């Protein structure tokens, strides 16, 4: 098992040895390090932090450890309890808090959990500030409050509803148009907090909701990453119910994927493409996604007269480039929508509202909408890391092997060919190397991936 410290937070498996897994002692240590950083970063008299969690089994235990640690440092806590990542991100500035912590391991299986750390804007910390927290965790600088100065915990269950209200008030969400279409939608909430938030949003939009795995028990009924091979039950349910579409989110509701009326995947990569197409049709501007995302976003952006740019992988990197380029919409190809008017964070709820408005205006089926976009096909693969594998050297050799092609090394190695690309990088969230390829047919994408993986294996064994 493992403990991963990165710009995506402190992530690990529950149980096992201290320092090697996310044990109670590690949860307390990193919560205290965050509290120490917060006091230095904000430098004021009274501190407040928003805490929320997804429904995974270890969530309540980790939440209590984190909250009580902050209380012990004299920091007041606003406890959202079961919530979503984008809801916590919105709650931080709405509460005028100094920061936030989301307890979720996103798409990872049930044995994982994590502390995702936010600043006073409700945005993820950059690498520089994250490094300070890691340094505090390993230092002797952690100090706690005297008995008369302990923090307090205040429970607030209203924020999912407040989040939905903010979405319904957005200029480009047309509640009347959606209601008029009388959509029937199947929702797979993977037995986490998406099962609370997404049906509630849909009901407000006048949609007929059929719930599948929407009880927030934390017992994930399938692998929680919203990929085609994990969603056979959703596919069957959409067809059985003659639904207009299916919706699936990951456990903390920042990733979003759709299924068409035939029970076929719309394509997780195309969540952002479709939403961007809708927004750019209303408001001209630029877009950003990460380097591992489909070229289709570039094509759609240029169709609307905007400029597309690719950032390093990681939400904080996408957000920075969006701010630098004044992008009107952005996100990641894993189904993450970032709409700056609402907040700078991936948000499945706003993605649902925009997609349904887009669909209502187009007056077409989900499969017909998908056919209007450029067709690219991706192959997403991974290689498990071993202690003896020198990832940096491996990536360097791969870049050298393709020096005659267009190479980008800001995040691993991306090799752009005329009609296809491959991106190799060490994951921020798992002990793996990710190998993403994209081409104009699935067969070509798969063949390119196999070729690259064989080359990696050769280098690793040499």
Residues serving a catalytic function are: 106
How buried is residue 385: exposed, middle or buried, by Cβ count under 10 Å (0-12/13-18/19+)?
middle
In 10 A of CB 384, how many CB atoms?
A: 9
> What is the Cα–Cα distance from 395 to 239, expressed in whole angstroms?
44
| b/e map 302-336, b = 16+ CB within 10 Å | eebebebbbbbbbbbbbbbbbeebebbbbbbbbbb
> What is the Cα–Cα distance from 455 to 453, expressed in whole angstroms?
5
Residues 6+ positions from 259 with CB-CB distance below 8 Å: 186, 231, 234, 235, 238, 245, 246, 247, 248, 265, 266, 366
In 10 A of CB 367, how many CB atoms?
A: 14
- Taking each helix axis from N to C end, the angle separating 348-362 and 85-94, rounded to the nearest 10 degrees, works out to 110
CA dihedral 201, 327, 406, 433 (to 10 degrees): -40
Q: Which of 254, 423, 246 is nearest to 350 (CA)?
A: 254
366, two tokens: 């989900």
Residue ranges in 106-215 assigned as alpha helix (H): 127-137, 159-168, 175-181, 194-204
Residues 6+ positions from 176 with CB-CB distance below 8 Å: none
3-state secondary structure of 247: strand
Give residue 208's Cα distance to chain centre.
Answer: 26
> What is the Cα–Cα distance from 293 to 315, expressed in whole angstroms?
13
């Amino acid at each position: 098992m493992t403990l991963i410290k990165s710009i995506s937070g402190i992530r690990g498996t529950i149980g096992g040895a201290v320092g090697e897994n996310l044990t109670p002692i590690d949860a307390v240590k990193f919560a205290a390090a965050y509290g120490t950083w917060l006091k230095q970063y904000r430098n004021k008299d009274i501190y407040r932090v928003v805490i929320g969690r997804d429904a995974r089994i270890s969530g309540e235990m980790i939440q209590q450890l984190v909250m009580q640690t902050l209380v012990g440092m004299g920091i007041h806590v606003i406890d959202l309890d079961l919530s979503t990542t984008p809801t916590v991100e919105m709650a931080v500035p709405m509460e005028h808090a100094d920061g936030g912590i989301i307890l979720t391991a996103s798409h990872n299986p049930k044995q994982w959990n994590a502390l995702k750390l936010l600043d006073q804007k409700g945005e993820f910390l950059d690498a520089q500030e994250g490094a300070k927290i890691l340094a505090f965790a390993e230092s002797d600088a952690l100090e706690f409050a005297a008995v008369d100065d302990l923090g307090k915990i205040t429970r607030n269950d209203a924020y999912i509803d407040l989040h939905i209200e903010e979405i319904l008030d957005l200029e480009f969400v047309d509640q009347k148009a959606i209601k008029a279409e009388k959509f029937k939608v199947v929702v797979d909430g993977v037995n986490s907090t998406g099962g609370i938030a997404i049906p509630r949003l849909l009901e407000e939009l006048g949609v007929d909701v059929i719930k599948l795995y929407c009880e927030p028990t934390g017992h994930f009924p399938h692998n929680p990453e919203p990929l085609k091979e994990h969603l056979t039950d959703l596919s069957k349910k959409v067809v059985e119910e003659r639904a207009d579409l299916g919706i699936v989110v990951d456990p903390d509701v920042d990733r979003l994927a759709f299924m068409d009326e035939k029970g076929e995947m719309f394509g997780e990569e195309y969540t952002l493409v479709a939403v961007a197409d809708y927004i750019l049709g209303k408001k001209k501007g630029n877009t950003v996604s990460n380097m591992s995302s489909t070229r289709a976003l570039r094509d759609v952006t240029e169709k609307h007269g905007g400029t597309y740019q690719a950032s390093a992988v990681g939400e904080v990197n996408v957000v920075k480039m969006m701010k630098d380029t004044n992008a009107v919409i952005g996100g990641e190809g894993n189904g993450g929508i970032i709409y700056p008017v609402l907040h700078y964070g991936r948000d499945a709820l706003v993605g649902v509202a925009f997609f349904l408005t887009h669909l209502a205006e187009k007056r077409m089926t989900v499969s017909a909408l998908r056919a209007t976009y450029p067709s690219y096909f991706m192959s997403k693969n991974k290689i498990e890391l071993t202690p003896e594998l020198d990832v940096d050297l491996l990536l360097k050799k791969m870049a050298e092997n393709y020096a005659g092609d267009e190479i980008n090394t800001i995040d691993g190695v991306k090799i752009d060919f005329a009609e296809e690309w491959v991106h190799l990088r060490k994951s921020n969230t798992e002990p793996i190397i990710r190998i993403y390829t994209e081409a104009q047919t699935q067969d070509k994408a798969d063949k390119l991936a196999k070729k690259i993986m064989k080359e990696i294996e050769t280098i690793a064994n040499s």
